[in-house]
Amino acid sequence: MDARSAPASVEELLDRVLEVSDGLPKRLKQCADYVAANPDRVAVSTVAEMSEGAGVQPSAFMRFCQVLGFSGFSQMQRLFRDSYAQNWPDYATRLEKLRESGAGSPSALLAEFVEAGRLSLENLAKTLDPRTLDAAIKALSEANMVHIVGMRRAFSVASYLAYAFEKMNVPTMLHDSVGKLDSRHAIRAGDAVIAITFAPYSPETVALAEAGSRAGAKVVAITDSLASPLRPVTPLLLTVSEADFGDFRSLSATLSLAVALVVAVGTANRARKNGIP
């Protein structure tokens, strides 16, 4: 058996598989080929299913896992499961530990948030539905005015959207509720509303989105899950799940979505103006 220890990542494992597969007995090579061909199945299958797929006995598959340096199938599967879940199972607990230990240096903390941001970005690219995005951009670019609302944590996103739309010469109104002034009646039919809210959802944001919808405006929602209270309000639901830590999330993915929205809308508007001179 190989003296080296077990691979620490899926990539490393696949490299190892290719490396050793030539010198392997027949059945074990079948396993190697099958794993190399369907690495994605490992995470969600049982040994029985894998071995059947490879055309071997379960015990043969077990030996294969052990040749790779694992104690058994379960250990190997854990690797695949973790990589699928993208490690954000326990970001909260990891950071919690970092904080409790006190040994968590600021740089380590920053590294955690950088990593969380990266995962959020990847997840955004993977899960966002292009059609919903297209529809949202269409609604926004056809609007006479874009109203933006987001409170508390989401306010930074709202203010960024307001800034960027202004740069793009898109008529915009940021509903900031300074002085608790109620500005919901500024929304007209033919306008559009971008409502941003994350759990715990801010009632003011939801209320303004509903008011806008009643007034005949299209509503685009940026929120964190399908369970959002904005779901009944609009079909244009852009969901962004950031890896968060208690009340904190870095908003990396949300901001990227925001800037993409703005640029797309700005471009669409310019094209329309040029196309209809």
Which residues make beta-bridge pairs with 148? Answer: 174, 194
| Touching a copy of itself, residues 13-42 (CB under 8 A) | 14, 17-18, 21, 32-33, 36-38, 40-41
| Contacted by 178, from a copy of itself, DNA, none: CB < 5 to 8 Å by type | a copy of itself
Max CA distance (Å), the chain: 76
Choose one: 23-31, 90-98, 131-139, 249-257; the region binding DNA (CB under 7 A): 23-31
Q: What is the DSSP string of 140-200?
A: HHT-SSEEEEE-GGGHHHHHHHHHHHHHTT--EEEE--GGG---GGG--TT-EEEEEE-SS
b/e for 220-249, b at 16 or more Cβ within 10 A? Answer: bbbbbeeebbbeebbebbbbbbbbbbeeeb
| Touching a copy of itself, residues 202-241 (CB under 8 A) | 224-227, 231, 241
Q: Which of 175, 256, 170, 254 is closest to 208 using CA atoms? A: 175
Alpha-carbon distance of 101 to 113, in angstroms, equals 17
User: Residues 23, 130, 200, 277: which binds a copy of itself (CB under 8 A)?
Assistant: 130
Choose one: 54-62, 67-75, 157-165, 180-188; the region binding a copy of itself (CB under 8 A): 157-165
Rounding to the nearest 10 degrees, give the CA dihedral for residues 266, 270, 276, 277: 140
Q: Which is nearer to a copy of itself, 111 or 189 (CB)?
A: 111
Question: In a 3-state reduction of DSSP, which class is residue 2?
Answer: coil
User: Residues 53, 69, 75, 173: which binds a copy of itself (CB under 8 A)?
Assistant: 53
User: Residues 10, 13, 17, 28: which binds DNA (CB under 7 A)?
Assistant: 28
| Contacted by 107, from DNA, a copy of itself, none: CB < 5 to 8 Å by type | a copy of itself
| Contacted by 273, from DNA, a copy of itself, none: CB < 5 to 8 Å by type | none
Interface with DNA by CB under 7 A: which residues? Answer: 25-28, 46-48, 56-60, 62-63, 65-66, 71-75, 77
